[in-house]
Amino acid sequence: MPITIRSKLPDIGTTIFTIMSKLAIEHQAINVGQGFPDFDPNPKLVELVHAAMQDGHNQYAFMAGLPALREEIGKKTAALYGHRYNPDTEITITNGATESIMTTILALVGRGDEVIVLEPFYDSYVPAIRLAGGTPITVPMTPPSLLHPQYRIDWQRIRDAITAKTRMLVINFPNNPTGITLESDDLDALESIVANTNIAVLSDEAYEHIVFDGRIHYSIATRKKLAANAIIISSFAKTYHVTGWKIGYCLAPANITSEIRKVHQFNVFSVSSPMQPALAQFMKDPNTYSQLSAFYQKKRDHFTAGLAHSRFKPLASQGTFFLLADYSEISDETEVSFARKLTSEYGVTVIPVAAFYGNPDAPESNHHLVRICFAKKESTLDAALERLRRI
């Protein structure tokens, strides 16, 4: 007889990304849904990994990550954001940003704690909070309107959501899926909200190097008071076109890092060895990340211009490699149903923005928007555009 399982995540099924990617294969659709590049990383980086393997970096790495890599991350963060994290005690290499998120939340959140998450949100935050025994409190961003054709953060709603139980606030800018970024006055608002509280800020900055139109990335690390109680999470996945390598890191003050490492130690212990000396060497050259915004801006502009000849209305993307497109001129369907139809009937796979809401079927989660990933070769983008223009 099968044993009885009391699921810890009874309502969680296969993610929409997997479902849509499977549907894309079934219908031989062009997949501009899931967020990964369809081109290769810099061959120099691949050669460095190869060389590291030949040099014997094939056994367990240090638990907290290769010191040389932590050193380089520390230097880069100090140069870009002005905050000097100690590589020995404040920087930890993790299995992608995903492990940083899970490990941090497991380390800091417990039963009865509330964690505020801005909606729409990246899909791993809420399950992590629930596995830790905490309660996710979702605060919606203001959806785009005719007057403000962008998602916006409503800091007052965040303020109103805070209770004596609030333990953490999760933010993610540049934001997946909306493509919006932070401004300096957003950091002012955040600073005033968490000042003199016991609330940690988890800032997922996986897209820190992809911001457009001359914007700068306002990292939490640029503010001393915020950084004192913040965990900043980033990843090499998006920066170096290596989503399959699963190498990320988290930056946090020593008292928080020591708790994070306790969980990391028994969660994965350490992270893939040969990637670490390779990344440490590669990232010494700031051009490897400082050119990324221009690289993706070209793709964003190309795709946005291409949509002008379609019935989709693109929203301006300020950062990340995603843009949102409004399809209200084409259909009144819900986002999930429209996205499915787009794959099965028109051969283009996108992600419904409603999938980033707690309840994708609710009217409040549906704004006739789909997310398009433009981290693709020009030929892929053109092929997708050609199909989208036929609608």
Ligand X SMILES: Cc1ncc(COP(=O)(O)O)c(C=O)c1O
Asked if 56 contacts 42 with a C-beta cutoff of 8 angstroms, the reply is no
Q: Which stretch binds ligand X (CB under 6 A): 58-66, 92-100, 349-357, 363-371?
A: 92-100
* Shortest Cβ 227–ligand X spacing (Å): 19
Task: Note whether 98 binds ligand X by CB under 6 A.
Answer: yes
Structure tokens at 254: 């020593």
Interaction between residue 122 and ligand X (CB under 6 A)? yes
Which pairing describes strands 30-31 and 348-349: parallel, antiparallel, or unpaired?
A: parallel
Distance CA 85, CA 249 (A): 12
Residue 172 Cβ, how far from ligand X at the closest point, in Å? 5
* Beta strand extents in 299-368 (DSSP E only): 313-314, 322-326, 348-349, 351-352
Q: In the complex, what is the shortest distance from the CB of residue 146 to ligand X, in angstroms, rounded to a whole number?
A: 28
Backbone angles phi, psi at 73, to 5 degrees: -65, -40
Residues from 7 through 66 that contact ligand X (CB under 6 A): 35
Judged by CB under 6 A, does residue 128 bind ligand X?
no
DSSP annotation of 142: B
Query: Residue 72 CB, nearest distance to ligand X (Å)?
Result: 17
Helix, strand or coil for residue 91?
strand
Tokens at residue 147, please?
Answer: 């007057």
The one among 178, 235, 270, 293 contacting ligand X by CB under 6 A: 235
CB 36 to ligand X: min, Å: 8
CB of 375 to ligand X, least distance (A): 10
- Stretch 170-209: interaction string toward ligand X, x if CB under 6 A: --x---x---------------------------x-x---
Q: How far is the CB of 93 from ligand X (least distance, A)?
A: 11
Under the criterion CB under 6 A, does residue 248 sit at the interface with ligand X? yes
Show Cβ contacts of residue 49 under 8 Å, excluding neighbours closer than 6 positions: 274, 275, 278
Tell me the window of 25-33, 58-66, 242-250, 353-361 that interacts with ligand X (CB under 6 A). 242-250
The token pair that represents 164 in the structure block:
């004596």
Q: Report DSSP letters for 304-358, one per residue.
A: HHHHTTSS-EEPPP-BSSEEEEE-TTT--S-HHHHHHHHHHHHSEE-EEGGGGSS
Query: How distant is the alpha carbon of residue 184 from its chain centre?
Result: 20
Report if residue 96 touches ligand X, rule: CB under 6 A: yes
- Nearest by Cα to 305 from 368, 382, 210, 209: 382
For ligand X, the closer CB: 203 or 380: 203
- In the bound state with ligand X, the residue whose beta carbon lies nearer, of 52 and 233, is 233
Q: For binding to ligand X (CB under 6 A), which residues are involved?
A: 35, 96-98, 122, 172, 176, 204, 206, 235, 237, 243, 246, 248
